[in-house]
Amino acid sequence: MTDAMLAIGTRKGLFLARSSGGGPFEVEPIQFSTVAVHSVAIDTRGTTPRLLAGIEYGHFGPSVMYSDDLGKTWQEAERPPVAFPERTGTTLSRVWQLLPSPSEPQVVWAGVEPGALFRSQDGGVTYDLVEGLWEHPHRPHWQPGGGGLCLHTIVPHPSDPQIMGVAVSTGGFYRTGDGGRSWEAANQGIRAPFMPEGQQYPEYGQCVHKVVMHPSRPERLFLQHHFGVYRSDDFGSSWQDIGSPLPSDFGFPIVVHPTRPDTVYVLPLHADLDRTPVGHHYRVYRSDDAGDTWQPLDRGLPEEPVYACVLRDAMTAAEAGVFFGTRDGEVYGSRDDGESWSLVGRHLPDVLTVRAAVL
C-alpha cells in the first residue's frame, strides 16, 4: 500500500490530509490561516514532491507559494511570482489554477483572473504572461461570470507541449497548436440557451465551468457547461450533449478516472438559480461509457438533506481516489471508484479546491 496526500484549499486556509499505507486520511492543522487558497497543486514529477498554493492575502493581494518539504515550510519568489506586465495596465486579482505540465519537466501553468494564462519555467516559482492568448481579438469581449473573469481550466496535451486547451468564464474553450502563439475558439455544438433564438450557438461567450481529459486519449474532452454536459472526440472541434440522461445537467465539477478514459464523474445541482444538490442529497454520477449512460453513487454520503454545492475545482480523481469538498466545509472520499464514500474532514471553511496524489 502507498502513502497519499490531499491538499484542500478553503476560503480561510489550506489543509493537508495524509494517508499511510492505504489507511484513513488524517487532516493536519490549518496553514495560511484566514487566507483564501483558490488553487493548489501537488507536483510529483521530480524526486521531491513540490506543493503549490495560489493564495489571496486580502489587503496584500494574490500570490503563489511553494513548499518542497510537504508543507512544513513555504517559500515565495523575491518578486511577485505572477504579475501582469506594466504595459497591460492590468492587475492580478486571483490565481484560479496551477497545473504542472505533463510534457515539460520544469513548466507549471497558472490560470488567473482577469482571464489570462501564465507559464513558469522554474517549477512554479515565477511566471510569465502568455502573450498570444492575451492579445486574442476575442479577449476584450469576454464578460465575467458569477465568479469573475477567470481562466479556471488548463488542459495540456500529455506528450506534445505545442497543443493545449484552456477554458475562460465566460469566454469559452480555446485551443492552441503552436505552443500558445495563436489560439482559436472551439465551442461548436455547445448551446447557450439564454441567447436569442438563432444565436444560441455562439463562437465565444460561453460559460464553461470545467473541462477534463484523460492522458491516454487526448483527443477526447469532457465539459461541464453552465447549461449542459458535453463530450468532444476531436479536441474541441465539435461537441455533443451527454447530459440528457442526468437528473440535471447543471453543475460545476467534472473529473475523469485516472486509469479508465471512458469513466467520468459529475455532481449535479438543481439549476442555475437553485445551486443545491439534486434532491438535496450528495450524489456523484458516474459514466463508464463516456457519457452514454450514468449511475448515481451515494453509499456512505449523508442521508439527511444537504444544501451546499461543490465548486468546479473542489472535486478530483487521482490514483489516491475520488474526492470532493463542499461549501459547508465537508470533504468526502472514495477508494473504490465512487462505489462507497467516507468522510475525510468536516467543519472546515468553504472548500474551494481539492487535489490528491500518491507520494
What pLDDT, in 10s, does the model give residues 32-60? 999 999 999 999 999 999 999 999 988 88
pLDDT of residue 59: 80
**What confidence tens digit (pLDDT) does each residue in 70-107 have?**
999 999 999 999 999 999 999 999 999 999 999 999 99
pLDDT of residue 22: 87
| DSSP label at residue 148 | B
Backbone dihedral angles phi then psi of residue 59, each to the nearest 5 degrees: -60, -25
Give the chain's mean pLDDT.
Answer: 96
Bond preceding residue 100 cis, omega within 30 of 0: no
**What confidence tens digit (pLDDT) does each residue in 235-274 have?**
999 999 999 999 999 999 999 999 999 999 999 999 999 9
Q: And the C-alpha cell for 137?
A: 481579438
pLDDT of residue 194: 81
Are residues 253 and 313 in contact, defined by beta-carbon separation less than 8 angstroms? yes
What's this model's pTM, rounded to 2 decimal places? 0.97
**What confidence tens digit (pLDDT) does each residue in 215-239 have?**
999 999 999 999 999 999 999 999 9
pLDDT above 60 for 1: no
Q: In the structure, what pLDDT confidence band is assigned to residue 195 with cuts at 50, 70 and 90?
A: confident
Which domains can be identified in the chain, with CATH numbers? 4-358 (2.130.10.10)
* b/e sequence 56-74, b meaning 16+ C-beta within 10 Å: beeeeebbbbbbbebbeeb
Characterize the bridge pairing of strands 228-232 and 208-213.
unpaired
What percent of the chain has pLDDT above 70?
A: 100
